[in-house]
Amino acid sequence: MVEVLRRPLISIAAALLTAAAPVAQTFTSRIEAVRVDVLVTEKGAPVRGLEPADFEVLDNGVRQTVDLASFEQIPLNVVLALDMSASLQGLRLGHLQTAGRTVLDGLKPGDRAALVAFSHVVVVGNGLSEDVDRVRAALDQALGSGLTSLIDASHAGMMIGESDVGRSLLILFSDGIDTSSWLSAESVLDSARRGDVVVYPVEVGERRASFSRELSEATGGRLIAIESTKDLSATFTGILEEFRMRYLISYSPNGVSAGGWHRLDVRVRGRGITVKARPGYFAGPVTTLPSPRTPRH
Amino acid sequence: MTPAIVSNRSSVFAAVLLLFATVGAQEPPDVLAGSSVDRAAQWLAAVKAHEPGNPAKPAIEVSTWPGVEVEAAILGAKRYARSLAKTRPDDANDLLLRGATMHADIAQLIPQEMVRRSPKQQRMFVVEDGREQGTRFISIHWELGRSLLDDISPAPAANAGVLLWYRRVAMDLLRLRSLAEAVVHLPRGRRMFPSDAALLFASGILHERFASASLQAAAASVVAADRGATTVSPARAELERAERFFRETLAVQPDHLEARVRHGRVLGVLGRHEQAGEALQLVIEAGATGEWLYFTELFLGSQKEAVGNDLAARGHFERAAALYPHAQSPRLALSQLSRRAGDRGGAQREVRVLAELPEGERRREDPWWKYFDVR
């Protein structure tokens, strides 16, 4: 998870740029702190008890000093984005609702939850809430019908999950690839790299969406492929447990430029230890015209 | 078509999509043994009694004939028409046109379960939400209709009724999403009427649809499962075909607004943003309204975003949102645009607007979901 705190600074250079290119809002930022959500495992089991000094972070290749490494103390923001398209009718829908309720039951005081139920219609509730019963009621009312707007729903889920408070997890369940989104995969992956939500896509069936894999990699999450929804509750519970076992480390960037793409390398001193974190983050708004992209539409 | 396909038109998402399958036709299990009854005479009687668009008992009876018998009847009818043409060519042509109309109605309106199968029938894949859901036989009656019109004198390409039949069937096939048959029908029509804007436009729609995420996914799943092959090419190739057909449509009929919108979109997806922007701007200047203005604003927004003109993109997305206040696509586009600019609050505000929108498909009313359908 990456949370970039910025303080906009007025600069002459920025003002000149704005005058020259009136179509682009341009200002500079200074990154005050970066938060990174990190999963540390050894032989598959989470590693506990690490201190800030145990972490080694390179931001664009520049070594940083980790100020904080918290574990299990920070409340969670859990967004369930669940595919309710026509193919989820019947037993699968029942499994999905049960699994969603299991996640809600596993939340602790202070944790918040939200639901995004999607087919081609993306239905968002009222945002993150500690009122889990309300989320549960929305989940129980969901019906399976329609096409699949996986990409649109991913964007909505991440936007709901982004918060200055807590650590954010998006569980993205789907049984297929996108067939009706407006947004392009590329644009939503771009948003993911700018945000602080860790995405765990869960895909059932034989079809694999490259978008889901790329989204999990971009956010430091993990793609979970299952053949059947029979044990979906256990899958969802496993994700929640794994997410609680992650560290949130924070540092104040030093010796790196404020804007643009920051490549991250997070390591833990010690042999045989596996570290999973997002590969980098975007900081600051777009300050130059991007190279032309091929839109979906 | 099964009744389910026809009767569920109220919800575009309930219907299935049909792709052409090049898997070999199999011997149908229920071909009846040949009959000695004079099918040609029965066929003539059925054509005479047929009310276009409303198959009655005689047409339903024809639909139950085995393929070999109906083909024999058609051959007999053609012989009769050729004979008639020597003295009454207009009556002969009228008979053939009425026959073609009856067979198109049988193909379209009589449930497939009632239509006999022929050894010549090919299969098509049934697709829903990007998934292949099995196969069905393609009705032989579309081809029988075309076969009858081949005998129009002096030449089918010189007959206005033939052109109207090809146009009507083309749009019906697209409307019914019977893309497997459209793949066969449209080239035949274009060979006879190469400059007809309606057939060129329908061809563009077909290939634009083949390039859609849903059909690309379905075609890929068919190939991956080793279930055969489809006539769907990779998205870029399909888009290039669509672009050519829309361009040719506009060359014949420059004021074809829908072709202009679709051409602009396809150009944009192909990465030709400047041309796309120009094409779509012409639609605005032509005074488009309603959903075609909505599409134009959305597509223009997308083009402006692609070249980094976020301010202009925002304006187009906002105008699209104003046209269809319950539509989710412009809200998502605005949210994504804000997020890319580093404005998290703005991005979240747009998503919160979605929470205020009605939940049901019909009340949400986003024309984008029906873009690939023919109106």
For B85-102, how does the pLDDT look when each residue is reduced to its tens digit (9 = 90+)? Answer: 999 999 999 999 999 999
Q: For all residues of chain B together, what is the average pLDDT?
A: 87
Cβ-based neighbour number of residue A293 at 10 Å: 17
CB contact under 8 A, A292 and B355: no
A207 to chain B nearest CA, in Å? 8
Sheet with A62-64: strands ordered across: A62-64, A55-59, A260-268, A280-283
pLDDT at B3 over 70: no
Instruction: Give the model confidence (pLDDT) of A214-272 as tens digits.
Output: 999 999 999 999 999 999 999 999 999 999 999 999 999 999 987 889 999 999 987 68
Instruction: Delineate the domains of chain B, giving CATH numbers in brackets.
Output: 3-183 (no CATH), 286-370 (1.25.40.10)
Please tell me if residue B213 touches chain A, with a CB cutoff of 8 Å: yes
**pLDDT tens digits along B330-349:** 999 999 999 999 899 999 99
Quick check: helix, strand or coil at residue B186? Answer: helix
Q: What is the DSSP string of A203-232?
A: EESS---HHHHHHHHHHT---EEES-STTH
**Closest residue by Cα to residue B183 from B175, B191, B193, B173:** B173
CB atoms within 10 A of CB B274: 12
Q: Please give the pLDDT value at position B357.
A: 85
Q: Among B129, B298, B352, whose Cβ lies nearest the Cβ of A176?
A: B129
For residue B239, the tally of other CB atoms under 10 A from its CB is 22
Q: Which residues pair with A40 in a beta bridge?
A: A275
Q: Which of B256, B295, B261 is nearest to B278 (CA)?
A: B261
Cβ contacts of A187 on chain B, cutoff 8 Å: 336, 340
The answer to whether residue B319 scores a pLDDT higher than 80 is: yes
Average pLDDT over residues B280-308: 96
Identify the band that residue B115 occupies on the pLDDT scale cut at 50, 70 and 90. low
Confidence at residue B362, expressed as pLDDT on a 0 to 100 scale: 67
pTM: predicted TM-score of the whole model, two decimal places: 0.86
Contacts of A294 in chain B (CB under 8 A): 269-271, 306
Burial code (b: 16+ CB inside 10 Å, e: under 16) for B133-157 equals eebbbbbbbbbbbbbbbebbbeebe
Measured between CB atoms, which of B336, B354, B360 is closest to A191? B336
Chain A hits for B329, Cβ within 8 Å: 152, 182
In chain A, which ranges are continuous DSSP H helix?
Answer: 12-20, 91-105, 132-141, 150-161, 185-194, 210-219, 232-244
Domains of chain A: 4-9+21-72+252-283 (no CATH), 76-244 (3.40.50.410)
Q: How many CA atoms lie within 13 A of A11 on its CB side?
A: 11
Q: Distance (Å, rounded) from C-alpha A279 to C-alpha A41?
A: 17
Is residue A24 within 8 angstroms of chain B, CB to CB? yes
Burial (CB < 10 A; 0-12, 13-18, 19+), residue A16, is exposed
- Put simply, the chain A residues between 85 and 104 with a CB less than 8 A from any chain B CB are 85-87
| Helix axis angle, B160-175 to B89-109, nearest 10° | 0
Q: Are the C-beta atoms of B267 and B250 separated by less than 8 Å?
A: no
- The one-letter amino acid at B57: K
The model's pLDDT over B35-77, given as tens digits with 9 standing for 90+, comes to: 434 888 999 999 999 999 888 888 999 988 888 889 899 999 9
Name the minimum distance, in Å, from the CA of A46 to any CA of chain B: 32
pLDDT by residue, tens only, chain A of 297 residues: 444 433 332 222 222 222 232 222 333 345 678 999 999 999 888 898 999 999 999 999 999 999 988 887 789 999 999 999 877 777 788 999 999 999 999 999 999 999 999 999 999 988 999 999 999 998 988 777 788 999 999 999 999 999 888 899 999 999 868 999 999 999 999 999 988 899 999 999 876 678 999 999 999 999 999 999 999 999 999 999 999 999 999 999 999 987 889 999 999 987 689 999 999 998 766 543 334 445 566
CB contact under 8 A, B328 and A22: no
A178 and B368 in contact by Cβ < 8 A? no
Provide the shortest C-alpha distance from residue A246 to chain B (in Å).
Answer: 24
Q: What is the pLDDT of residue B4?
A: 27
> Chain B contact for A125, CB < 8 A?
yes
- CA distance linking residue B147 with residue B142, whole number of Å: 9
Cis bond upstream, residue B66 (ω within 30): no
Out of A22, A179, A297, closest to residue B130 by CB: A179
User: Which residue type occupies B122?
Assistant: Q
Q: What pLDDT shows up at residue A296? A: 62
**CA torsion, ordered B231, B139, B175, B166, to nearest 10 deg:** 90
Q: Which among B311, B320, B307, B314 is positioned nearest to B371, based on CA atoms?
A: B320
Chain A partners within 8 Å of B214 (Cβ): 147, 179-180
Q: What is the pLDDT of residue B119?
A: 74
Cα–Cα dist A203/A96, whole Å:
12
Contact B265 A297 (CB under 8 A): yes
Residue numbers in B near A85 (CB within 8 A): 129
- Tokens 């999973």: give the residue: A276
Give me the pLDDT at residue A115, please: 96
Across the interface, which of B13, B305, B333 has its CB nearest the CB of A120?
B13
Span B344-358, average pLDDT: 92
Sign of the CA dihedral B167, B171, B173, B179? positive
Q: Which of A116-130, B23-37, B110-124, B275-289 has the highest mean pLDDT?
A: B275-289
pLDDT digits (tens, 9 = 90+) for B232-267: 999 999 999 999 999 999 999 999 999 999 999 999
Cα separation, B258 vs B266, in Å, equals 12
Each residue's pLDDT tens digit, B180-200: 899 999 999 999 999 999 999
Burial of residue A147 (CB within 10 Å: 0-12, 13-18, 19+) is: buried
Tell me, what's the pLDDT at B148? 97
Residue of B nearest to A297 (CA): B269
Distance, CA of B302 to CA of B282 (rounded, Å): 16
A61: left (phi over 0), alpha (psi -120 to 50) or beta: left
Per-residue model confidence (pLDDT) at position B73:
93
Which 3 state secondary structure label does DSSP give A125? Answer: coil
Name the residue of chain B whose CA is nearest to A85's CA.
Answer: B129
Selecting from B273, B343, B361 the residue whose C-beta is nearest the C-beta of A146 gives B361
Q: Can you tell me the distance from the alpha carbon of A280 to that of A284, in angstroms, rounded to the nearest whole number?
A: 13
